Amino acid sequence: MKRIFWAAQAVAFYGLTLGAALMPAVFLERCGATVGFAICRLLAARRMIALDNINRALPFLERHPLWAPCCGDVQELVQGTFDNMGRSLIEVCRLYHDVGEEVVANVVMRGSEHFEAARDKGKGVICLSGHCGNWELMALALSRFHGDGAVIARRQKNPYLNRMIERMRMHYKSRVIYKRGALRAMLTVLKQGHFVGLLADQAASPEDGVLIDVMGRKAWASKAPVQIARKSGAALVPVFIHREGERHVITFLPEHQFGLDLSEEGIREEIQALSRYLEDFVAAHPTQWYWVHRRWKRAGEAA
């Protein structure tokens, strides 16, 4: 019975994404905004999480030197977040059905020299990012324009759906490493001198993380970026994607320079420093981060 349900789910997914993919390009932006509006209204619980997260983060963001207010109030900021999600969803539908070449072609790379300099060291590159802009597009574009690499992803419970998504990624030469048992595979890719894309902006468990400050509140963050970099000797380059009108911009920042402190406190300080890159991005592009995630769960109240 479960396999029948999975198959039906996959067929429905294929049909819906095909409809979005075949839509005339002139309607894409409006359709994406409509989808975002619908998601915002239908997923009331997620909307409330986003509203609460933004309200609590605003005092920090408004003091940030990169703060770029783009909305009249918090409600507009929440809707802007869902608009980005809707537009990203439509774009991914087109990419899945091989009719989204213009989406990839309109990606602009900035700071590529930082990535190239890190890769030239020969020990691989950890491309550290978060759930920003159209992060699925970023993974595909990195593989398309910067050669061999892999991204870390969570396997879908539905095996049929998982294979469909894998097909899209492989079309754009994007290799996937699934989270369970990922460490060995990541180290292998890095040892070959390739890149690994890592989204490290979600809440970690206390057992696997460290407690840091994120936008003025305590949050659990994964130790993985620091541990992998130290174990492999790979360079770590922060990279983010955001929208500028009709195009997407991927920005590589200079390689992060790690300190020499190998203690638990040293790891915490490094993770805190890495989190600052995300804070800078969110301040500059407040509607283009995944506010609907419970980033501060299990960490108590604001510090």
Q: Which residues have CB under 8 Å from 300's CB, separation 6+?
A: 218
Structure tokens at 76: 């507009």
CA 246, 110, 116, 84 torsion: positive or negative?
A: negative
Residue 23 has pLDDT above 80, yes or no: no
Q: What is the pLDDT of residues 42-80, one digit of tens each?
A: 889 999 999 999 999 999 999 999 999 888 789 999 999
HSE-up (13 A, CA, CB side) for residue 267? 18
Question: What pLDDT was estimated at residue 302?
Answer: 41
Nearest to 109 by CA among 152, 66, 138, 148: 138
Q: How confident is the model at residue 213, as a pLDDT?
A: 96
Q: At what angle do helices 112-119 and 135-146 cross, to 10 degrees?
A: 60
Question: Which pTM was predicted?
Answer: 0.90
pLDDT band at 270 (very low <50, low <70, confident <90, very high): very high
Q: What is the pLDDT of residue 177?
A: 84
Distance CA 189, CA 230 (A): 15
pLDDT tens profile 126-143: 999 999 999 989 988 998
pLDDT in tens, 170-219: 767 778 888 777 888 999 999 999 999 999 999 999 888 999 999 999 99
Residue 149 predicted with pLDDT over 50: yes
How far is residue 293's CA from residue 303's CA, in Å, rounded to a whole number? 19
Sorting pLDDT into bands at 50, 70 and 90, what band is 31? confident
Candidate from 17-26, 117-126, 128-137 with smallest mean pLDDT: 17-26
> How is the chain split among helix, strand and coil, in percent rounded to 5?
50, 20, 30
Q: Does the pLDDT at position 10 exceed 70?
A: no
Residue 303's pLDDT band (boundaries 50, 70, 90)? Answer: very low
- Selection from 240, 175, 182, 177 nearest residue 208 by Cα: 182
- Cα angle: 22, vertex 247, 286; to 5 degrees: 110
